[in-house]
A and B are shown apart, each in its own frame.
Chain A
Amino acid sequence: MDRNLNRNMALIITMFILVFGVGTASAQHAAKAQADNAQLASVDANGKVKTPTPEEIQQITQDTDKNLSHSTKGLVVVKREDGSKHVDLQDRFQAVSLARVGADGKIATECVTSQEEAKKFLEGETKPASKPATVELETK
């Protein structure tokens, strides 16, 4: 009985997102266009949108650890005869684009340049102070 209820809940939520989660428009200036790639995410048996787990976040931070490293440990400044200097960054100091399912079930993306930023984004805590909220605008 409970399982059927949960399944029906999930179905209703999915239908709700299908009906209202698409086709909304943002005003050109009042509310900036958010990624059009927003899509429907899967829901669990309780009808709750699945968001990244701590384990999944850890896997991503492990994958990007080297790219987002700002450590100069082991990097060598090579001084050439002409007085110029050269450093092989060994894949560090890179930028990384990430994607996650948000609590609203939509995909969000962000390019980050440090592990701190990556974690904040993956944990859903990135709330840029100046970014206007994307609102579902009235159409009539």
Chain B
Amino acid sequence: MKKTLSVLCCLFALSMMTTYAFAGADIVIVNVNAPGVGFNDATPAVPIGGNTGTTRGEQALNVFTRAAQIWSQSLDSGVQIKVEASFEPRTCSTTSAVLGSAGTKSVDSDFAGAEFPGTWYHEALANKRSGVRQTPPGDNDIRARFNSELGKPGCLDGTTWYFGLDDQEATGQIDLLAVVLHEIGHGLGFSTFVNKVAPDPAQPLSEDNPAIGHEFFALPDIYERYVSDDITGSWLGMTDGQRAASMVNDQHLVWVGGRVHSAVPQVLSGTPRVTVNSPAAIAGSKPIGTAGFGSPLSSPGITRDLVYDSSLGCAAVTPAVAGKIALIDRGVCTFVVKVKNAQNAGALAVIIADNAPGAPAGLGGADPTITIPSVRISQADGVAVKAQLLLGPVNVTMDTDLTHIAGANAALDAKLYAPTVIAPGSSVSHWDVSETPNQLMEPFINGDLVASVKVPKDLTESLMRDIGWYPDADTDLVPDDSDSCAGSAVGASISIVGRSTGVPDKVFPNGCSISQRIDACAADAANHGGFASCVAHVGDDAKKAGMISGAQKGAIQSVAAGAGIP
């Protein structure tokens, strides 16, 4: 009876853990909801947006699964990442709600494999770098608690979770996938532990009552290592007071990791611009408003002569715009009608000349069939351009200025969120909201996010690389870019033609395992003596590297001698 019970308990425990193993990390969603609630809520639900779940609980769990899958495809780890997750009632009213929370459950420092000594690492990252779980097997690495009540009466009435997996949330829906993906990102490493909370003034400063800017137990964390103020320098060299001042130094707090730096031009947009190249009389950059439809401006952009259509472009646009940039006056019909007509006539882009004075605003409207870019210029610039067109060609470039990237400073370091209005402490653990396009790890869950953490959509994976989530497809603890042997399997006993040596396989610093080098010996040896000699060399190298003992070297050579190779 006891045995049956324990078997049932094991089966139940297994059923509560969903493992999602992909190329890299093996991420487990540990469902800690009780039967019948949360992820186990059996309320029927209609499949939506690629989520095939047929109950509310199943759909919620599928969203977590998808988030785990997305992170798995970006991060490699030989140690399972365990997310202790629940979909449970959190505080909610008709006007406000806790959507969810997440974070690492623990931190480690000075473990084998740590890139920097004296530095706190998020648990999952510490496990990845060391190759072994730093905590007891039953412990989890990340805690995530999300609100199951959203959309129920009295909980943000009229607003519901969107359980689809396709980023197609509608008005009145919050994309659960984006929020889960974001919050798990914090748990995986996108957060600092530097104190942001004002100390109790009645108590002396101490580790229990630290000043704003004080490092967690007086040690930096791995995220903090890449936080810098582009006026006052790296956070690592700062006093608590300097860090406190820097964390509200809006537009000057930046991430200085090399991977993010390299990714910034690929991910963030340059500043859109229109430049008149000729004639000289009106040459130069013109103020513009960009469109909410069509494709955005890009670099190198489009350089063409302008063709003016004086008809307002509401019915059709002159075929003369084909292969050119169309100039059309604002008025009578909508911007999308004008731009669509120009597109139909073969224009590569459209400039709308305003019909009222003032700085040019953006172009509103929606038409998913519009694929060309369009902008608005001021009425004054429009008049000047049209006057020149009466005299001859006007050549224009519509592109983005990559020297002024939205959300990065002049050195192309991505900005972190440090608004001065939030005193005494601010986020730091988010990208700045000026980044364009919107990024997953900005503080606001924007509706235009796509479920990606990778370049060219997003900078988050690059930040994870900076803090130490290096690519390691075979999880042999040797980064892929310096790994000479793919698919190294460590841990198992070294075998030669099926005969076990009893010696655990290990990996050389170049990423090749002892087994792989012995296999190479077998492939290259002209005769058995050559094979045995080659294996002896491998054993010598492994012994010198401290990977095996002398006795283990002897065991390997003994099996090799009897292997009959070749």
Contact = CB atoms under 8 A, between A and B. Distances in A.
A37 B197 contact: no
B101 A96 contact: yes
Contact of A70 (B97, B120, B197, B419): B197
B293 A25 contact: yes
Contact of B296 (A29, A31, A35): A29
A25 B217 contact: no
B111 A82 contact: yes
Contacts of B195: 70
Question: For the complex, would chain A's binding face be called helix, strand, loop or mixed by DSSP majority?
Answer: loop
Interface residues of B, number: 106
Question: For the complex, would chain B's binding face be called helix, strand, loop or mixed by DSSP majority?
Answer: loop
Contacts, number: 304
B158 A41 contact: yes
Contacts of B166: none
B417 A128 contact: yes
Interface in B132-182: 134-135, 143, 156-159, 169-175, 179, 182
Interface string A37-71: 11111100000001111001101101110010111
A116 interface: yes
B108 A101 contact: no
Contacts of B425: 114, 116-117
Contacts of A125: 421
Interface residues of A, number: 86
A22 B95 contact: no
A89 B106 CA distance: 5
A107 B183 contact: no
A31 B174 contact: no
Contact of B448 (A33, A42, A86, A97): A33
24 contacts: A29-B269, A29-B296, A32-B438, A32-B446, A36-B171, A37-B169, A52-B96, A53-B95, A62-B91, A63-B90, A64-B98, A69-B197, A70-B193, A70-B195, A91-B103, A93-B216, A96-B99, A99-B99, A99-B159, A128-B417, A129-B251, A130-B434, A135-B361, A140-B334
Given A82-B111, A82-B112, 10 more contacts: A29-B406, A29-B436, A31-B362, A37-B171, A42-B158, A84-B109, A101-B94, A113-B191, A116-B422, A137-B365
Interface of B: 90-91, 93-112, 114, 120, 134-135, 143, 156-159, 169-175, 179, 182-183, 186, 191, 193, 195-198, 207-210, 216-217, 250-251, 269, 271-272, 289-293, 296-297, 330-336, 361-366, 406, 415, 417, 419-430, 432-434, 436-438, 443-448
